[in-house]
Amino acid sequence: MTRHARPVSLPLVLGPSGAPLRHRVADALIDLMRTGYLQPGDTLPATRALAAELGISRTAVLAAYDELAAAGFVHAVGGSSTIVSPGAGLAARAGVSSHVHVSRALAGARPAGLARPRWNLLPGYPDAGLIAAEHWRAAWRGAAADPVASGLPFDSLGQPLQQALATHLRRTRGVAADPADIILVPGVSAGLRALVLAAGLAGRPVAFEEPGYPEGRRALQAAGAVIRPVPVDEEGLDPAGLVAGDAATYTTPAHQFPLGARLSAARRAALIGWARRAGALVIEDDYDGEFRYDVRGLPALHSMTGGPDVVAYLGTASKILSPGLRLAWMIAPPGLRQPVLDALSVTDERISAPAAGAMAHFIGSGHLAAHLARAARTYAARRRALILGLRSLGLQISGVDAGLHLVAGLPPGVDEGEVQARLLRAGLAVDVLGQFSTAPLGRRALVCGYALLPETQAAAAAEVIGSASRS
């Protein structure tokens, strides 16, 4: 049965201007379905009235409604009314969209006619070529000599890796944990999905950095969490933006993605204090915390006083070795450890036993520590060369203290999507800041990974960026 018609003044937030207007309107309406503001049976405003309210053409609203109808989010009744369809909220929370997101496709695209771009500045990818081949082969030979995994529930084949990680995390990140408390997962996204189920976060608000890590946002949304954006600044996530209703907050404190801020010591303490008072969960994604330049490392949130009781710590091999390993780890608060294990048993998301064995040997032999030291020196040199090249062109650089990427501000009035497309045609792949935000930002910038950029090519890549930014 049709419910009441919604007022025209829907709290619509249109996405960045790089996407077609019809997609932005459709996405904004899906967001309202995701949060429950629009529910099955609700009547959408008339297209003419909504267009007037948003100050856009009615054609764009009509196209958005048609798009939503084709995807099953809405349907027409009575010849003119447009109604939210049954199951629309569930589909929205699962991350279903009414169209292909161009910015996401572009981020992984390659120039026409080329196997790969000449310069790959996409953030988030380490240089696997820096891994010493003889050390890697030795790790896999060690894994091959281990017993074959039976796959039985009571097998403890993850134990060698858990023990190795416990030592590694204590030495590099100040995280003290019993090996049995380290939960192995095939990626951070799998860990986030398990946390939503274990902590009962489905249908509840989770404060999320804005702009923020899109894969983390999508994983939480797909599991049913309701994302509430919280702005970040030069000190990272501001705990003052958290509210009593937030069931959890997601943060990347070592090197905020994508702006690159390190969460200040004062805010770290405030965040832990908020979680303890509110009975909330802090999800710490320490995705590239091993790499720091010219600054002292700050402790992981989990290692702070009171942290183990409220912080779910997540780390990954994706940034230190390769995303292809599909290895990540989690240390959950004591009350969530068994629920997380139960959730993973339901979803049957497991790591690869051979990969885990090789990783355990790689860490235990000391080869990971040697690799991280060598990689940090190489990344520091590549970072320095790219910064010099970009600054020589007058671009403002930020987020350079840690991690594997930096942010290069674009001149006022420049369309970052157009710059990104020009660069791709010129053989340079890069992300833009707008890709990581759910709402328009007050700045435009390129998000440049430098791990795969040879030091000798940094000046040439910077010149290409400068040329595209001026066009």
pLDDT value of residue 433? 92
The residue ranking higher by pLDDT, 349 or 188, is 188
Rounded Cα distance, 112 and 424, in Å:
9
Phi, psi (5° rounding) for residue 104?
A: -70, -40
pLDDT-wise least confident of 2-11, 240-249, 295-304: 2-11
390: CB partners within 8 A, 6+ apart: 397, 408, 448, 462, 465, 466
pLDDT value of residue 153? 55
> Which residue has tokens 């988030």?
124
Say how far residue 255 (Cα) sits from the centre of its chain.
Answer: 12
Domains of the chain: 21-99 (1.10.10.10), 104-125+369-470 (3.90.1150.10), 149-365 (3.40.640.10)
pLDDT-wise least confident of 10-14, 81-85, 258-262, 265-269: 10-14
Q: What is the CA radius of gyration of the chain?
A: 23
Q: What is the mean pLDDT of residues 134-147?
A: 91
Containing 156, the helix (H) or strand (E) segment is none
315 closest CA partner among 297, 301, 303, 330: 330
Q: Which residues pair with 432 in a beta bridge?
A: 446
> Is residue 212 pLDDT above 90, yes or no?
yes
Helices (H), 147-200: 159-173, 188-198
Judged by DSSP in three states, 357 sits in: helix
The Cβ of residue 132 has, within 10 Å, a number of other Cβ atoms equal to: 12
Angle between helices 353-364 and 367-391 (to 10 degrees): 90
Q: What is the 3-state secondary structure (H, E, C) of 384-440?
A: HHHHHHHHCCCCCEECCCECCEEEEECCCCCCHHHHHHHHHHCCEECEEHHHHCCCC
Residue 7 DSSP one-character state: P
With a pLDDT cut of 90, the percent of the chain lying above it is 53
In contact, 417 and 310? CB cutoff 8 Å: no
Listing from the earlier edge strand, what are the strands of the sheet with 311-316?
A: 182-185, 328-331, 311-316, 281-285, 248-251, 205-210, 226-233, 236-237
pLDDT value of residue 2? 45
Rounded Cα distance, 27 and 297, in Å:
39
How does residue 150 score in pLDDT terms, banded at 50, 70 and 90? low
Q: What is the mean pLDDT of residues 289-305?
A: 81
How does residue 269 score in pLDDT terms, banded at 50, 70 and 90? very high
pTM of the full predicted structure? Answer: 0.75
Q: What is the mean pLDDT of residues 142-154?
A: 74
Cα angle, residue 195 at apex, residues 345 and 270 outer, rounded to 5°: 155
pLDDT digit string, tens, across residues 381-411? 999 999 999 999 889 999 888 889 999 999 8
Rounded Cα distance, 403 and 383, in Å:
10
Amino acid code (one letter) for 434: G
pLDDT value of residue 375? 93
> Is residue 1 pLDDT above 70, yes or no?
no
> Is residue 106 pLDDT above 70, yes or no?
no
pLDDT value of residue 103? 44
> Is residue 105 pLDDT above 50, yes or no?
no
Q: Which residues pair with 282 in a beta bridge?
A: 249, 311
pLDDT digit string, tens, across residues 10-58? 777 776 655 678 888 888 898 888 888 888 888 999 888 888 888 888 8
> Is residue 133 pLDDT above 70, yes or no?
yes
The residue ranking higher by pLDDT, 282 or 319, is 282
How does residue 442 score in pLDDT terms, banded at 50, 70 and 90? confident
| Exposure class string for 92-105: b at 16+ Cβ within 10 A, else e | bbeebbbbeebbee
The Cβ of residue 374 has, within 10 Å, a number of other Cβ atoms equal to: 13
> Is residue 319 pLDDT above 70, yes or no?
yes
> Is residue 239 pLDDT above 90, yes or no?
yes
pLDDT digit string, tens, across residues 49-100? 888 888 888 888 888 898 888 878 888 886 678 999 888 888 787 777 777 5
Give whole-number Cα distances, 122 to 99, 175, 327, in Å: 23, 29, 21
